[in-house]
Copies of this chain bind each other. A is one copy, B any other.
Amino acid sequence: MKKVSVGVDIGGTNTAIGVVDELGHVLTKDNISTPDHGNINQYIDELAGAIKTLITNAKLMNENIEIVGIGVGAPNGNYYTGTIEYAPNLSFKGVVQVVRLLRGHFPDLNAIALTNDANAAAIGEMIYGGAKGMKNFVMYTLGTGVGSGIVVNGDLVYGHDGFAGECGHTTLIPGGRICGCGAHGHLEAYCSAPGMKRTAFELLAKYNAVDSPLAKYSYNELTSKMIYDAAMDGDKVANEVFELTGKYLGQGIADTIHHLSPEAIFLFGGPLAAGDLILKPTKEAMEAHLLPIFKNKIKVLPSKLEAGDAAIVGASALAWKELEK
């Protein structure tokens, strides 16, 4: 029998589902809408139906597979309680019992678990990716927000109440940019996709850069993809956006290292497509902030999870991790 697990990634608009083998390969996948009606029971019924259909399809492709569990990644997902709690971008209000409801549909599966997206990505890196065999590492996910997952002694750190790993909300610059959470100067306000846009607008203003291709777009139009394209075309402003983003990120990563002394930091997300354009300034800033005992020994690595399926694959890894217990 070939063992496989199911990964579910609950996003604001879509829920992606995949059947994933022990090597992290997606055998088959599907999408359903994450509803805007907020009725969790109805949604979980739909989700369970879609998972069952997908499993049936996977078995048609290969009748020797055995489902070992379901891992779910979701914003504000709490591993301890199996609930999504007060997720601002989902229609479910308050605390919703995702794992308990799923268990009702899959009573024979022991390994059903949920965590937030960044934690799922970290577990994915550990089970399938570049962190295989590592016992202490931290994953930063750069996207609309900045998430993180912390692994200590081979286990994800959930903290007292399940919410550990919010490195995106450490303070980089006291009194600095307003973060989406309302506080000032958080890393997320500098290193997320919107953070990079904010940096681009600051630099356009600073240099009065009328010749930059970025000068053609309104604040609401400019995307991080446009900044990336301009940087690849050699635009000075766009290149400096990556340089500053790396500088900010490196400062934050140094704080993480001083807390946890990890073997490596993994970076995941769109900006990593720029390679050394983001990695080099990140490493330089990180090293500049480190104590001598940490200098020149902590690796900063791009994630080995494939961008397209990373959320499903990361979530599926949670099921394997559960089986280790």
Q: Does A206 contact B (CB under 8 A)?
A: no
User: Which of B167, B291, B298 contacts A166, CB < 8 Å?
Assistant: B291
Q: Which residue of B lies closest to A173 (CB)?
A: B174
Contact of A171 among B162, B165, B254 (CB under 8 A): B254
A37 to chain B, nearest CB (A): 25
In the complex, which of the residues B174, B183, B291, B294 contacts A290, with contact meaning CB atoms closer than 8 Å? B183
Q: Which of A45-53, A96-104, A255-263, A272-280 contacts B (4 or more CB under 8 A)?
A: A255-263
Q: Is A27 an interface residue (CB 8 A)?
A: no
Interfacial chain B residues near A254, Cβ < 8 Å:
170-171
| In contact, A262 and B86 (Cβ under 8 angstroms) | no
A289 neighbours in B (Cβ, 8 Å):
171, 183
Are B256 and A167 closer than 8 Å at their CB atoms?
Answer: no
In the complex where A152-B152, A160-B135 touch, is A170 in contact with B292 (Cβ < 8 A)? no
From A263, which residue of chain B is reached at the shortest CB distance? B160
Map CB proximity to B onto A237-269 as digits: 1 under 8 Å, 0 otherwise.
000000000000001001110111111000000
User: How far in angstroms is the closest Cβ of chain B from A109?
Assistant: 25
Nearest CB in chain B: distance from A252 CB, A: 9
Residue on B nearest A166 in the bound complex, by CB: B258
Q: Which residues of B contact A182 (CB under 8 A)?
A: 292
Tell me whether A215 is interfacial, beta carbon within 8 Å: no
Query: When the two chains form their complex, are residues B160 and A259 in contact, meaning their CB atoms are under 8 A apart?
Result: no
- Among candidates B160, B168, B173, B263, residue contacting A262 with C-beta atoms closer than 8 Å: B160
| Chain B residues whose CB sits within 8 angstroms of the CB of A161 once the complex forms | 261, 297
Q: CB-CB < 8 A to A173: which residues of B?
A: 174
List A residues at the B interface (Cβ < 8 Å). Answer: 76, 85-86, 135-136, 150, 152-153, 155, 157-174, 181-183, 251, 254-256, 258-263, 288-294, 297-298
Contact of A163 among B153, B165, B261 (CB under 8 A): B261
Whether B261 contacts A162 by the Cβ 8 Å rule is yes
A137: nearest chain-B partner, CB-CB: B160
| Complexed CA–CA distance, A183 and B262 (Å) | 20
- Which of A165, A254, A259, A297 has the most chain B CB atoms closer than 10 A to its own CB? A259
- Decide: A167 and B258 in contact? CB cutoff 8 A: yes
Q: What's the least CB distance linking A133 to chain B, in Å?
A: 12
Give, as a whole number of angstroms, the nearest-CB distance from A108 to chain B.
29
Chain B residues closer than 8 Å to A171, beta-carbon distance: 172, 251, 254-255, 289
Chain B's nearest CB lies how many Å from the CB of A117? 15
A259 in contact with B293 given A171-B254, A173-B174 (CB within 8 Å): no
A-B contact pairs, 23 of them (CB 8 A): A76-B293, A136-B159, A152-B157, A157-B260, A158-B261, A159-B262, A160-B261, A160-B262, A163-B294, A164-B259, A165-B261, A166-B294, A167-B258, A170-B255, A170-B258, A171-B251, A171-B255, A171-B289, A181-B291, A183-B288, A183-B289, A255-B255, A259-B259
